[in-house]
Each structure stands twice: as C-alpha cells, then as structure tokens.
Amino acid sequence: MTTAFFYHDDFLKHDMGPEHPESPERLNAIISYLADTELEQQLDWVRPEEITRDQLLQVHPETYLSQLDMMQPTRGRVFTDPDTAMMPHTLRAARLAAGANVQAVDMVLSGQATNAFVAARPPGHHAERGKSMGFCFYNNIALAARHALNFHGLERVAIIDFDVHQGNGTVDIVQGDERVLMCSSFQHPFYPHSHVYRLPENIINTPIAAGTSGTDYRRTVEEAWLHRLEEFEPQLVLVSAGFDAHKSDPLAELQLEAADYRWLTDMITSIARDYSDNRVVSTLEGGYHLKALAEGVTAHLEGLVAIED
C-alpha cells in the first residue's frame, strides 16, 4: 500500500501577515517534524499542479471566481473578510491546494495510492459557494467530492470534518446532495455560528461543548457517526483534517491530544476498509499550535500508513 503526501513550496508564499495564525510556519512545522521520523521515507511525496477553471466551476460560480481574480493585489494585502487576506501569491497557492485535492482523488481512485494526505494551505472548509471566509478561498474538500462524483462517477462519498470549527462552507455546498454524507464535529457555540440548525439529512452535525475531553469526544462522535457511515457505505472517504481541537490550540477550547487524532484516523480507515477499498483522501484544514499541529498530523499519517491491503 502507498500513502501519497501532497506538498508544494508555493503553499508557503501565501502570507496573511506576521500576526496571522494561519501562517506559512504551520507547514514548516509539519515538514520539519516529519523529517525527524521514519514516516518521511514511507510517504510517496507528490508535487501538485494547479486546479483547472473547469474543476473549480464544479463548486464555485464564475462570478465568485472572477471576483477573487480581480481582488488579488499585485502588492500589499486585501481583506476578503475580517480574518482573511489576499496577497500576490494567494490564488496560486489556493489553486495548488485545490489541485492537490483533485489529484489526490485521481491517484486514489486509479489505485496509484491507497490513501492520500494533502499538506496544503490555504485551507478550504469555510469557503462557501460564493463567499471567502475564515482563511479559506476555494473549498478544497468539496472540490475533491465533486470531482469524485462528477468526473469519476462515484455514487456515494463521505466527508468527515474533525476541525474544531464547523465546516460551514462544505455544508453550504453539499447540503441536500444525497450522494454525500457529511459528518462534522465542532466546538459549539463557536465560530462560524452558521449552518448548525435545520439541515437536511445528509449533514450530521455533532456540536461539542468547550472543555470536552478526548474520551468524551470519542464517545460522542462514535455514537453520532458510526452507524450512519455504515449504512451509507461510502465508496470514498474524504477528510477535512483540522487539528485545532487539540488542548494546546490557541484558537479553541476542546481538549484533544495526538492520541485522539490517531483514534479518529483508525475509525476512518476502518470504515474505508469495510466499504471503500481503503480509499481515503484527507486534507489539512486548521491547527494553530505549531507543535500540536505537527504531532497531530504525524499521528494521522501514522494511521494512514499503518493500514494493510
């Protein structure tokens, strides 16, 4: 079996400012942590290419795409929302991040890799069809899902989002699409304060109270997700992998540890083993404590590498 690891140096060029938590240092922390582990050799490193316009149009309308094109400055920064800034290298990085997700789906569905992790930024799960917010421009995981469904012809794709913030953008895009089952755990009440109530059946929202321990978190998501995932029988499992529910994260108040990310990964790979021929594509979302992020990603990757064909 092979785990593909998507990474590109141009992800580092998108920089929202010295005080911004969604910084290039996040990826540097992950890459340098991996260099000290045996994992680095076990992964199949892949340099992604930019997503095409046609692929972006599977999720985002042309008016939104051209609005972003026009907003990108040639120098300095422009804000798309109070937390989210564009600078000259932003859209190149965003197209590479989205492209990596689409190419990871291609690799996994063609059998070139068993599963894949995309170590990219900017992240994607807050980006709605026509709205950039929460550090996100293009919705990477929704683009991966649409590519698997529309291009490869899959009929059932699961999205598991364990970032501490609710993936409002992904919900906005996939709600009501019966080909997708989205399971999302998030601190509540909390940012982004939307898409929590009155949702169609294909969205399983699992709100978690501030201060919740890893043990209680595991029990809650297992009860909420496992049976529905088994019933759904996904042909591909996609993951919005945010590591900001870690107890050290400066942006949130859940109490997860690296071992909980390994537990989540083992749950995900066991669903994939039973229903989707082990096929998992996971993409980086949040995670703002550098060491906790690197440890969480490593635990996640160890789980992805550990599966047997």
Q: Is 121 in the site for Zn ion (CB under 5 A)?
A: no
Interface mask (CB under 5 A) for Zn ion, residues 38-57, using x and -?
Answer: --------------------
- Please say whether the beta carbons of 72 and 91 come within 8 A: yes
- Please say whether the beta carbons of 122 and 94 come within 8 A: yes
Report the residue from 50, 128, 161, 163 that binds Zn ion according to the rule CB under 5 A: 163
The separation between CA 227 and the C-alpha centre of its own chain, rounded to angstroms, equals: 22
Interface mask (CB under 5 A) for Zn ion, residues 229-258, using x and -?
Answer: -------------x-x--------------
| Smallest distance from Zn ion to CB 164, Å | 5
| Smallest distance from Zn ion to CB 245, Å | 8
Choice among 60, 126, 165, 195 that is catalytic: 126
If the CB atoms of residues 15 and 244 are measured against Zn ion, the closer one turns out to be 244
Number of other CB atoms surrounding residue 5 within 10 Å: 24
Per-residue 3-state assignment (H helix, E strand, C coil) for 138-183: CCHHHHHHHHHHHHCCCCCEEEEECCCCCCHHHHHHHCCCCCEEEE
If the CB atoms of residues 165 and 289 are measured against Zn ion, the closer one turns out to be 165
| Smallest distance from Zn ion to CB 297, Å | 14
Report the residue from 26, 60, 121, 165 that binds Zn ion according to the rule CB under 5 A: 165
Is residue 89 annotated as a catalytic residue, yes or no?
no
Report the residue from 48, 122, 169, 286 that binds Zn ion according to the rule CB under 5 A: 286
Residue of closest CB approach to Zn ion:
286
Write 183-187 long-range contacts (CB < 8 A, 24+).
Answer: 183/158, 183/159, 183/221, 183/224, 183/225, 183/228, 183/229, 184/159, 184/160, 184/240, 185/161, 185/217, 185/220, 185/221, 185/224, 185/245, 186/161, 187/245, 187/252, 187/253, 187/254
Stretch of 8-16, 221-229, 254-262, 283-291 contacting Zn ion, by CB under 5 A = 283-291
**Residues that are catalytic:** 126
* Residue ranges that bind Zn ion, judged by CB under 5 A: 163, 165, 242, 244, 286
